[in-house]
Amino acid sequence: MLKVAMLSKWHVHASGYARDVKTTGKAEVVAVWDEDIQRGKDWAQELNADFEPDIDALLARKDIDAVVCCTPTTMHDEILVKAAEAGKHIFTEKALSTTVEGCKKIADAVKENGVTFTISFPQSFSKTTKFIKSYIDSGKLGTVSTVRIRNAHSGVSNGWLPKYWFEEKDAGGGAMMDLGCHPMYQLAALCGKPKRISALFNSPLGTKVDENAVSIIEFENGIIGISETGFDSYSSPHRVEVYGTDGTIIENDWKLSIKTKETSEFSDAFIEPKAEENDICPIEKFINACIDGTGTPEGLNLDSAISLTQLLENAYISDKTNTTVSL
């Protein structure tokens, strides 16, 4: 049984990760640390786990094999380097860091200490993403010119995100740094190596971070990727659009529609293909890798994490400087 420590309940996904650890049947939460002592004590009691207010003391415990990091994003650099140096396997919420420099410091510590590392990119393993990737790679869409991904919700407009979510010193940004991670890492997975990026963010509802954000990325293969996100969209569907010279794929709330030159021989309408089932979630991949000693799961590694932060960091630079940034 893998022994896991939860590092902070700051992130809104923290409770879900603790639940996922337990439901695997292969791991258990034995300890909690939190920068907010009262929150940490309450959560530890809820999880029937120890609370340790000193991060160094927690990481020194021999009965802890791995950590799940849900701290404020701007704390990742310090906390994850410490975890790696203590020999603890690391599962972390995205983004790994707000800067590529911070990512590289964490990566160096992970490599030097030989720990298993996994970042949470859940949408990389959805059945729709896998189907779209396979179709792009197969050439059935011809030359792909544009990929647009939208992932937005009403966290600000409907008031369900915690107020501390809008503190840049903790979150490192707003909608693009949080929810915008998903379309960014999906675009990287589908489109390859980015060449340049241009971004435009604003805050129509008046918080201190970006609430509405669009980034446009040109990839080296000529694809233009569009990443849309926001905290102020009522009932916005999850949307992926892929346009090629020989076909188009639309995903709307995880339902696929496709039309290609090949399918047009049989129907003038879009058809609904059958995709494979979703893969297991990243945290289960992480736990399996720790137990089996198989190393970091593919697609959830340090290179993928750094690629995401490269896009995020330069999107914020582009918005702040009103420029297109070469990568």
The three state secondary structure string of 191-254 is HCCEEEEEEEEECCCCCCCCCEEEEEEEECCCCEEEEEEECCCCCCCCEEEEEECCEEEEEECC
* pLDDT bucket at 99, cuts 50 / 70 / 90: very high
- Dig out the tokens for 21 from the structure: 């650890």
pLDDT of residue 93: 98
Q: Is the pLDDT of residue 181 over 90?
A: yes
Q: Is the pLDDT of residue 286 over 80?
A: yes
pLDDT of residue 17: 97
Whole-number Å distance between alpha carbons of 302 and 299: 9
Q: Which residue has the higher pLDDT, 141 or 264?
A: 141
Q: Which residue has the higher pLDDT, 278 or 312?
A: 312
Across residues 260-264, what is the average pLDDT? 89
List the CATH code of the domain at 123-279+309-326.
Answer: 3.30.360.10
Q: Cα separations (Å) of 214 from 24, 151, 152, 180, 293?
A: 36, 11, 11, 9, 40
Q: CB-hemisphere CA count at 13 Å for 220?
A: 5
Of 19-28, 57-66, 125-134, give the lowest mean pLDDT range. Answer: 125-134
How remote is the C-alpha of 297 from its chain's centroid?
14
Q: Which residue has the higher pLDDT, 157 or 280?
A: 157
Residue-range domain boundaries for the chain: 2-115, 123-279+309-326
pLDDT of residue 124: 87
* pLDDT bucket at 278, cuts 50 / 70 / 90: confident
Domain formed by 2-115, architecture: 3-Layer(aba) Sandwich (3.40)
Per the prediction, the chain carries an average pLDDT of 96
Whole-number Å distance between alpha carbons of 248 and 150: 16
Q: Is the pLDDT of residue 42 over 80?
A: yes
- Dig out the tokens for 66 from the structure: 């791995």
pLDDT of residue 152: 98
* pLDDT bucket at 58, cuts 50 / 70 / 90: very high
Across residues 259-276, what is the average pLDDT? 87
What's the predicted TM-score (pTM) here?
0.95
Whole-number Å distance between alpha carbons of 61 and 163: 33
Q: Is the pLDDT of residue 80 over 90?
A: yes
pLDDT of residue 110: 98
Three-state DSSP string of 37-76? HHHHHHHHHHHCCEECCCHHHHHHCCCCCEEEECCCHHHH
pLDDT of residue 292: 96
Across residues 254-279, what is the average pLDDT? 87
**287 CB neighbour count, 10 Å cutoff:** 27
